[in-house]
Amino acid sequence: MDDIILRAEKITKIYPGTVALDEVNFNIYRGKVNALIGENGAGKSTLMKILAGVEQYTDGTLLLNGKEIAPKSPREAESLGIGIIYQELNLFPNLSVSENIHMAHEITRGGMVIKHGEQEKRAAGLLARLEQPINPRTLVANLRIGQQQIVEIAKALSQEMQILIMDEPTSALSTSEVEILFRVIQELKAQGVSIVYISHKLDELLQIADYVTVLRDGELVAESPMEKVNLRWIVQSMVGHDTAVSYTPPKHDFGEEILRVENLTLERPGKVQAYLLDHVSFSLRAGEIVGIYGLMGAGRTELFETLMGLHPHAGGEIWLAGQKVEMKAAINQRIQTGMMLIPEDRQREGLVQTLSVSHNMLLASLRNYLARFYLSSAKEKANVDRLIKELAIKVSNPQNLISSLSGGNQQKVVVAKALLTSPKLLLMDEPTRGIDVGAKAEIFSIMSELAKRGLGIIFVSTELKEVMAMADRILVMAKGRITAEMSRLEATEQALVEASVIGHELIKTGV
Amino acid sequence: MQGVTTKAPASAAAGQRRTPIQAILFQLRAFIALIILFGFFAVYSDSFLQTNNLIILTKQVAINAILGIGMTFVILTGGIDLSVGSVVGLCGMVVGGLINEGIILPMFGVVIYFNVWIVMFLTLLVGMAVGAFNGVLVTRFSVAPFIATLGTLYIARGLALLRNNGATFPNLIGDPELGNTGFPKLGTGEILDLPYSIWIMAALALFATFIATKTPFGRQIYAIGGNERAARLSGVRVKVVTLVAYVISGFCSAVVGLIITSQLVSAHPATGQSFELNAIAAVVLGGTSLSGGRGTIGGTIIGAFVIGVLNNGMIIEGVSSFWQTVITGIVIILAVIIDQLQHRLQERNVI
């Protein structure tokens, strides 16, 4: 029998406007744990969705045991023995644990009536294997996130799979639960199941993986047996030494302090003494670009949301340009005092898909275009045209729907909307997510230009390369705290990665 | 990678080049349907085009269109207002009571009668208050709009019945000695041979169009319906704006309540039953999306005329009223199917 159960050859996936995967080769070794790593947007999830039949590749070949396959639906992939545990929980909160585990694979009497008793017995067995005493009749909604993730894993185990894909399976698990999961993985390996394991937690990979494959910007960078590599090698291959955008220190001097944050604290809902933001303090000067680096769940998004006023119950103090911002101040008041957020999720939070390009751009600053009591088309047009030119937005007609633009240009529209509010401080949450390399470079040059004009910019990124390329100063967050602060010139990739996993319990065991 | 990034906008541009005629036809579909219906009845019926009939038709349309205007604002936010019919009835009873009975202040042993202008103003306030009640339920207590306004539908109808124990207020001509005469003029008065109600519809339609397209409030309504979270992060005061949309709908219902009561010169507590369905139908026929964010006031007016012309024409042609109901339903469903087709067409053009 061949060592390699599944061979992906030259897989290419093109979305409108971006190439998510570019001729990627990927091997899954039989009965091994195959780690797949890469930064956000490297194409890991896309590749896994293709294997699981959720997405279809544009070009390439998939060989399962030497036979060509092209799964068109998750059901088809399952029948081929490929299962997946998704990063986002795909459970039905309104149904019981047992019903979730058997969703679309119900144990029935004559194909019509569900045998609930039998399903529950089987579910209880699966949960026992995962050492979780969860009653199979409990509604999923009543479980905490970690337990939900266990149910998701039990669901995948309930079907006999040759290949099991786990996309960030431990993101919500506690240390002891992770250990149980690792034991189950060892069991599965012994039974000959091949596992694809995706995680940002590099220490976990060192512990469990047999083979490691690194993706970067939709391309395969390296593949190696785990025993031949170490953490340093992984980080270096992930980050690469792409010189397309490299840091150049700003030629302008920084101005006065524009933002000061003291002891910003946000409690985890429903828990005492557990923080999403744990006494965060820092400051920012006009013209300065500060990058915040951190893993998923480090508290980066919560920091921005709190600054924008989405969490009025947060504790601590915020000063904007010397003026104190009340915690109770609503978003529109904060925008007027000069801060503006460019959200992480462009589709869900940045843009109104039913509006035109120009209406999206003007949405946050409508007051400025009033002539007496109505909106002046002339003023609107002048501002829209100015920003389209300034940011080089490619649009044939600003009256077109926003969805007719490519990802990069949509992002520029979000930036334009923010700039039209005349901000002093820009908060950019993953400003280059999901846009192609050319557009990334353009967004970067826009950021530099704005800093030169005296704006303070804070941006968040999970991509080390980006933080290293753009920030004058870098803050690292982990578990809601700032774990390191360094100027760009003294920062190293190694130091950033190490600071970003402070507080993650497993770090010591791997390195 | 460079090749692809330049390819995407190019194909989008090609899509736009290909579709202008299709797109325009789709966008004007309600208007085209109206012209076809109008032409059909004009040809097949002798009395349809007579001035009298056209004025009667438009008077009926005005009721529906005014309710539809308020409804459009609510639906644009992604909500719905089922209470409009009941508010029409309630406002009718309010105005009837104020004219015939005044306000009784037992502690002073006096009865206050108001001038007709003040009576109408108070009635409009009642309508807006009911709208504000809906708005508070939806924004402050997060009740789903369908449920909140369904509850208000019952409450307002119940209050209308309670106002005079289920009886009507007849003969609302007022009393010269009390100085509250003149209310029937709203229903019978004419300017340039056109009843007031038609002028009111026209004025409200123009004003609402202005609000929807030319004010920050209007723009924010569209943004909330399109993507509430993005609107909020852009500084739109989502709760306030949404609440005002329901107040507008309450105002429009009160206007209709005044017009109908004045036309009948009496107030019936059952007036306005199922008016909300006609108003929603007009909005949907006019191309407004029930999920919010897309639609126009002009579309709603055309939608109201489509229903009006259809009903009027069928009555003149002697189509049984049972069949009229069936046909109206079919037309509404067809309109929504075409709307979906247009959506898919647009999406394909984007990719």
At residue A8, the 3 state secondary structure works out as strand
Cβ-count burial of A418 within 10 angstroms (0-12 exposed, 13-18 middle, 19+ buried)? buried
Is residue B143 in a domain? yes
Q: Which of A22-31, A254-263, A272-281 has the lowest mean pLDDT?
A: A272-281
Q: If we measure between CA atoms, which residue out of A467, A423, A431 comes closest to residue A258?
A: A423
Distances (CA, A) of B56 to A93, B259, B311, B313: 55, 14, 12, 12
Contact B229 A436 (CB under 8 A): no
Query: Cα(B148)–Cα(A484) distance, rounded to whole angstroms?
Result: 51
Is residue B351 in a domain? no
Q: Residue B328: which domain range?
A: 27-344
How does DSSP classify residue A71?
-
Chain A residues near residue B230 by CB distance under 8 angstroms: 343, 348-352
Nearby residues of B213 by Cβ (< 8 Å), 6 or more positions away: none
CB of B242 closer than 8 Å to CB of B224: yes
> A262-510: CATH homologous superfamily?
P-loop containing nucleotide triphosphate hydrolases (3.40.50.300)
Has residue B62 got a pLDDT over 90?
Answer: yes
Is residue B69 in a domain? yes
Is residue B350 in a domain? no
Is residue B10 in a domain? no
Q: How many domains does chain B have?
A: 1
* pLDDT tens figures, A310-367: 888 888 888 888 888 888 888 988 998 889 999 888 888 889 988 888 999 999 888 8
Nearest chain A residue to B5, by CA = A17
Is residue B15 in a domain? no
**Helices B84-100/B145-163 angle, 10° precision:** 20
Q: If we measure between CA atoms, which residue out of A319, A310, A417 comes closest to residue A366?
A: A417
CB of B286 closer than 8 Å to CB of B273: no
Chain B residues near residue A409 by CB distance under 8 angstroms: 9
Determine what percent of chain A is predicted with pLDDT higher than 90: 8
The CATH number of the domain holding residue B84 is 1.10.3470
Best of B6, B139, B210, B233 to disrupt the A interface (most A CBs within 10 Å) is B233
Structure tokens at A369: 């275009």
Q: What is the pLDDT of residue B12?
A: 38
CB of B61 closer than 8 Å to CB of B308: yes
B150 or A398: which leads in pLDDT: B150
Task: Quote the strand ranges of A208-336, DSSP E.
Answer: 211-216, 219-225, 257-267, 275-285, 289-294, 315-320, 323-325
Query: Cα(B224)–Cα(A352) distance, rounded to whole angstroms?
Result: 8
At residue A21, the 3 state secondary structure works out as strand
Q: What is the pLDDT of residue A243?
A: 41
Q: What is the pLDDT of residue A40?
A: 62
Q: If we measure between CA atoms, which residue out of B205, A149, A222 comes closest to residue A157?
A: A149
Has residue A382 got a pLDDT over 80?
Answer: yes
Q: What is the pLDDT of residue B18?
A: 45
Q: If we measure between CA atoms, which residue out of A322, A342, A282 comes closest to residue A473?
A: A282
Q: Does B20 touch chain A (CB under 8 A)?
A: no
* pLDDT tens figures, B111-130: 888 888 889 999 999 999 99
B349 or B77: which leads in pLDDT: B77
Query: Cα(A369)–Cα(A383) distance, rounded to whole angstroms?
Result: 9
Q: Which of A133-147, A414-428, B77-91, B263-277 has the lowest mean pLDDT?
A: A133-147
Which amino acid does the sequence have at A166? M
Chain A residues near residue B215 by CB distance under 8 angstroms: 373-375
Would the CA dihedral through A482, A483, A487, A488 be positive or negative?
negative
* pLDDT tens figures, A191-240: 888 999 988 777 788 888 999 998 887 788 888 888 888 777 777 777 66
Paired strand residues for B129: none
Domain ranges of chain A: 84-159, 262-510
CB of A21 closer than 8 Å to CB of A57: yes
Cβ-count burial of A117 within 10 angstroms (0-12 exposed, 13-18 middle, 19+ buried)? exposed
Structure tokens at B319: 């189509």
Structure tokens at B307: 């229903």
